[in-house]
A and B are shown apart, each in its own frame.
Chain A
Amino acid sequence: MNAVTTSPAGAPPYTREQDDHRSSPRLNPGVDFQRHWIDDMRINLSAVERRAAAFNARRSLKREWQAAWLLKAVSCIDLTTLSGQDTTGRVRRLCAKARQPLEREILTSLGVEHLGITTAAVCVYHEMVATATAALAGCGIPVAAVSTGFPAGLSPFATRLEEIKASVSAGAEEIDIVIVGFKPAGGIGTAKDAINYLVLIKEELGDNWLGPNLFRFGASSLLADIERQLQHHVSGRYSAAYHHPLA
């Protein structure tokens, strides 16, 4: 899934130095449609697939490196619930997990409490924006809303605009829409997947992209697996799936 997180109109322009996603909202200034970008494009699919597969086989991320990269993955997660059965209780639980995504013991053992790691955002339907905004009040984690006729974006344009306005006034700081960029989402459930994506980003786009301002995972179960891997890193043992607080 290709998506980019944009900010409501009127926000200051985004700058690359702006690493902290909690700073003021940014606007992607965008560019005019450039037909020749597409016309000139040649992709050797087999080579791309081979290259992508080779990255993960060749990069060494063990022990402390694995732990650090998994923490980075946590910081890039849009902790997401997009279900017709969402309840305010579930959204509040999700927000609590976003504030404290990892058990304190794990953070202490890794020596990273001072990094203040949270997920990048909480991502919900418009209906839950107000609930999420209230639950996240004061902690700086933005609420992202999929307020453009998610998932297909096929509702009338005017309806989508109204939906965005409604979500913004309900407190959403980010609107998730499908344009370009890179946001792997759907089916990313394991820590291994997350690291593979981070390696891909580092290799193809560079270190500047390895942060929540330019790269996000849309996921919920991913966090649970990362937490289990980190638990294993600090204790040498895997915890049961039910051991950690639910996302």
Chain B
Amino acid sequence: MKVAEIYNTMSYGPSPESSEQIENWLRQHRDGFQLFIGGRWVAPLASAHFDSINPANGKPLAQVAQAGAEDIDSAVAAARQAQPTWAELGGHGRARYLYALARLVQKRAREFAVLESLDNGKPIRESRDIDVPLAIRHFYHHAGWAQLLETEFPDRQPLGVVGQIIPWNFPLLMAAWKIAPALAAGNCVVLKPAEYTSLSALLLAELCEEIQLPAGVINIVTGDGSVGERLTAHDDVDKIAFTGSTDVGRRIRIASAGSGKKLTLELGGKSPFYRLRGRRSGQCRGRPGGRHMVQPGAGVLRRFEAAGAGGHSRAFAGQNKSTDAETAHW
């Protein structure tokens, strides 16, 4: 564009994020991703794969493994085997790995952001400025807590093996929320990412290899809801942590009742957005495949609207000049 033209419009310039590195990475895995179990990449026993779609163009980004019952069994067994050693490592020992993971995610933050945008469909501004930085901070934060664990919580013991099931709205960030505290406390995890958005968790697993995280501490099993069901019902899982829909949360509650499993549920779908009259419809443009969920704090945002442009949700402060609304919008 010509300088004189920009002078008159005062528009911002384009801010393209190169997807070259991530495209290379995806090319290296063009034969399909595998499951990360016991520190190794293993093909699903049933050799089943499914497509992970780029919602921006509807085209497949990669082939993701569909874990079967035996794959989940071996992931839980790997976590079980690794857990005593991981716990004995002590808070400071575990913190070293969490710090290493935080630093490495930080080093490759841009790759994660591009991958997250490609796989989830959210704008790069959100993945780059919110999802990935927050994920990094969670790893750093819980590395710090791992160091303090023995002095601050001397009476606490790790639970053992934690099955973690996360949604598609903040794939890497959700993984960080689940993994970092569990590892800091001395647990080992079997993580099931959402089937729509498995790729950032798989990249995270490669980083676990790079920092030489002990085998079995983090296991990633990809697949559809059947993987979550199997994980929930597994006898050797001590805790289920789930973020997702209320319906599935209820099913998990029922399935785990009486089993002695600890349970953490973070359930959504409870927070409707309102759209004020008089707003331009362009602010509410949707896109097929755009997936997003943002929960406003109940009772805080009274009047606002959400714009869902390609999975980009944004709460605008409405006529009540709520400071909270203004700080909440991105």
Contacts and interface: CB of A to CB of B under 8 A. Distances in A.
Contacts of A83: none
Contacts of B282: none
Interface string B6-17: 110111111100
B156 interface: no
Nearest to A109: B3
B4 to A, nearest CB: 5
Interface residues of A, number: 31
B141 interface: no
Contacts of A110: 3-4
Contacts of B6: 64-65, 67-69
B2 interface: yes
Contact of B4 (A54, A62, A112): A112
A60 B326 contact: no
A42 B323 contact: yes
A42 B327 CA distance: 12
A64 B323 contact: no
B328 to A, nearest CB: 9
Contacts of A59: 12
A43 B327 CA distance: 10
Interface of A: 40, 42-44, 47, 51, 54, 57-69, 71-72, 110-112, 114-115, 198, 202, 207, 210
A58 B3 contact: no
A63 B321 CA distance: 38
Interface string B175-212: 00000000000000000000000000000000000000
A68 B1 CA distance: 10
A215 to B, nearest CB: 11
Interface in B286-304: none
Nearest to A67: B3
Interface residues of B, number: 20
Given A42-B323, A47-B323, A58-B125, A65 B11 contact: yes
B129 interface: yes
Interface in B315-330: 321, 323, 326-327
Given A66-B13, A112-B3, 9 more contacts: A42-B323, A61-B12, A63-B13, A64-B1, A67-B6, A111-B3, A114-B4, A115-B7, A202-B10
Contact of A65 (B4, B12, B321, B323): B12
Contacts of A115: 4, 7
B323 A44 contact: yes
Given A44-B323, A64-B2, A72 B13 contact: no
A43 B323 contact: yes
Nearest to A71: B7
Nearest to A54: B129
A47 B1 CA distance: 35
A14 B12 CA distance: 28
Contacts of B12: 59-61, 65
Contacts of B1: 64-65
Closest 6 CB pairs of A and B: A68-B6, A60-B15, A65-B13, A47-B327, A68-B7, A60-B13
A202 B321 CA distance: 20
A62 B2 contact: no
B13 A47 contact: no
A69 B1 CA distance: 13
A202 B6 CA distance: 14
Given A68-B6, A71-B7, A72-B7, A61 B13 contact: yes
Contacts of B125: 58
A110 B2 CA distance: 8
Nearest to B324: A44
Contacts of A47: 323, 326-327
B4 A111 contact: yes
